[in-house]
Chains A and B, each alone.
Chain A
């Protein structure tokens, strides 16, 4: 037992030296993580800070002016053009000069006053329907505000029913709050998978794997020695992103560090397991890299990072059960934002354990039985 531990420790030390010795590779492990979490932290948001709109006010009444003042005062809507006819709408949207066109028809005020209700027409650019929808929802909010102002001003009856909405965990509904903690898992997985996938393939290609196999190191010991360094590196990368989320973006951390790191440890181990199994299976480094990539892409996309898993058809949802990132993103978001405790996260943890328990022994078996 003692001898085993000693041999594993020696292998871990060698792996770490090999990975970290070259300043270039140290840089490759740290810089992209920092840059990407900053870049994507800012870029990956569905919230619109400004909605460039073009106004087509054919009414030119008090009511329409009041509505436009309300829009322009909101701080979100940015009027980029005043249109004079409906013919101009096509070009304005088509050339992306404005995201939406707000059209106040000629009978706008008349209909309000008569009680039939005025109509605000919104034409949104649907090339990215998501953005279009968000912009439209902002106009909805503006219309609601206009209605209640109008109602108050005229001393109309108060509504019998109020709907009170409250968002848990993310009171201001900022997309960034979900995105950045997700990066804690997603970004570190990228390199952890690559590192572990290359580790055995590189040794095979360079002939050092034979040298390793003739030492008293057992395949299981080799596996552990090969698994620990990428796990450590993955956890360091996760920690860097965590710090950026917490202190740069100031997203409050609600959970316990212990729970977070337990989950991350399981996740990284499962990811390394997949990497090592791929690595032991590959003949060359090139194969290892490309196979990893083929796997990585769907894993990123089907993880809930950019679009929720519950929106997917059920067949796709079953596929995501084999994806460690799916559990990691759920787990990190829930620990980080919701402060979920250990007990609530077991359903994210045991699948990770199972993935690791399948892939790591598979790697061990392949070490000895894959003949090159």
Chain B
């Protein structure tokens, strides 16, 4: 008879444990800092702070040619919203500024620029600081654009500089016509916050009970491990949903990120991912039984990969096969893909079914591992 009531889940016990866990969660300010305040800060950072869109890059223009033609070229840079121009007269001076990090690019027109232009043999030198390669490439493009604009104007007034190009390029950026990085950063932000809430907070929760010795008395009660695990997941699931709500509201009303897919699907798949992430944290916690170690492992195995390896900022197509292999076994990779699609592209069934299936598998595997790692036994 004794075995009958040992295995069955009791709602009363589950409620009591969940209530206890919730109270502990709410009472420690540091938990709420990570659970609610940090998402708020991150929303601001991501929405306003992180941007791959270049504006007002400091650039030095050295023009030793005082002719109107040369002045015209320089004026083109002044008009561009991408540059803040410093006008200089010597290349030494410009190079010094570049070395000091005060300008990011130098545009150099020689003293005989207009004369040589007339002879169809002119050169404009564009030197960029290549340290941040991505930025350098874009800056280069902008500089060429500014010059091209000037030459088009000239062509209209009849003084063509270059033969008309045989082929022109027309680029359209689907799903992100405005070409703002915020649109892909906000879905990424949700991934980060879900990972953070889940893995980091729950990685401490079981380890804390081991460290403080509270499990010994808890074990000698009728509770079963299922109740124990569920009671730890439920409150943090709530915190995760609060974070999700904050992000969705901010995305919609602060950053005007379009939601082209179904909102319901976004919420459902986020809940699924939250479960994965919470379970990962709990597994780490149950396996290490040590708060410091658990937080380090959570940081290394969940948060950093979500930031660096999920395809959220850095595209996975450019990484070596081994790194890509690692990222294909990480759940955030699929969550990022699903969210970016749901926000910007819409409901794309094939992709979403794959992502959901992977996340579901991950949740089940983690849950089984937690069960194995949580026994009502000391040592």
A→B interface (CB under 8 Å): 24, 28, 32, 36, 39-40, 42-52, 67, 93-96, 99, 112, 115, 117-134, 136-137, 139-140, 143, 146-147, 150-151, 156-171, 173-175, 177-178, 190-191, 194, 198, 282, 285-287, 289-291, 293-294, 297-298, 301-302, 306-308, 310-313, 315-316, 319, 330, 333-334, 337-338, 340, 344
Contacts and interface: CB of A to CB of B under 8 A. Distances in A.
A28 B31 CA distance: 24
B236 interface: no
B225 interface: no
20 contacts: A39-B308, A43-B309, A43-B323, A45-B318, A94-B345, A112-B166, A117-B166, A119-B169, A124-B174, A125-B175, A128-B311, A129-B179, A166-B126, A168-B127, A169-B130, A194-B295, A286-B291, A301-B50, A311-B51, A340-B99
A311 B320 CA distance: 29
A85 B106 CA distance: 45
B183 interface: yes
A306 B130 contact: no
Contacts of A316: 45, 48-49
A93 B129 CA distance: 34
A42 B175 contact: no
A121 B174 CA distance: 12
B135 A164 contact: no
A61 B227 CA distance: 69
Contacts of B127: 165-168
A52 B317 contact: yes
Given A118-B167, A119-B168, A168-B127, A28 B296 contact: yes
B293 interface: yes
A134 to B, nearest CB: 7
What size tier do the contact residues of chain B reach?
Answer: 35 or more
Contacts of A175: 132-134
A306 B132 CA distance: 10
Nearest to B343: A127
Nearest to A124: B173
B30 A44 contact: no
B228 interface: no
Interface residues of chain A: helix, strand, loop or mixed (majority): helix
A115 B164 contact: yes
A259 to B, nearest CB: 14
Given A94-B348, A127-B175, A136-B171, A291 B33 contact: yes
Interface stretch (B139-147, B270-278, B362-370): B139-147
Nearest to A144: B165
A134 B313 CA distance: 13
Interface in B116-169: 117, 120-138, 140-141, 143-144, 147, 151, 160-169
Given A96-B351, A151-B163, A301-B45, A168 B130 contact: yes
A99 B317 contact: yes
Contact of A190 (B53, B58, B299, B327): B299
A158 B176 contact: no
Given A39-B326, A163-B126, 6 more contacts: A46-B318, A175-B134, A291-B30, A301-B50, A330-B101, A344-B99
Contacts of B45: 297-298, 301-302, 316
B95 to A, nearest CB: 9
Given A24-B293, A159-B163, A337-B131, A39 B184 contact: no
A305 to B, nearest CB: 10
A303 to B, nearest CB: 10
A140 B322 CA distance: 30
Contacts of B160: 160
Given A112-B166, A289-B295, A42 B323 contact: yes
B126 to A, nearest CB: 4
A175 B174 CA distance: 25
B208 interface: yes
Contact of A177 (B122, B131, B141, B161): B131
Interface in B172-226: 172-177, 179-181, 183-184, 196, 200, 204, 208
Given A47-B318, A312-B48, A173 B137 contact: yes
A121 to B, nearest CB: 5
Contacts of B337: 96
B125 A161 contact: no
B204 A94 contact: no
Contacts of A344: 99-101
Contact of B166 (A45, A96, A150, A165): A150
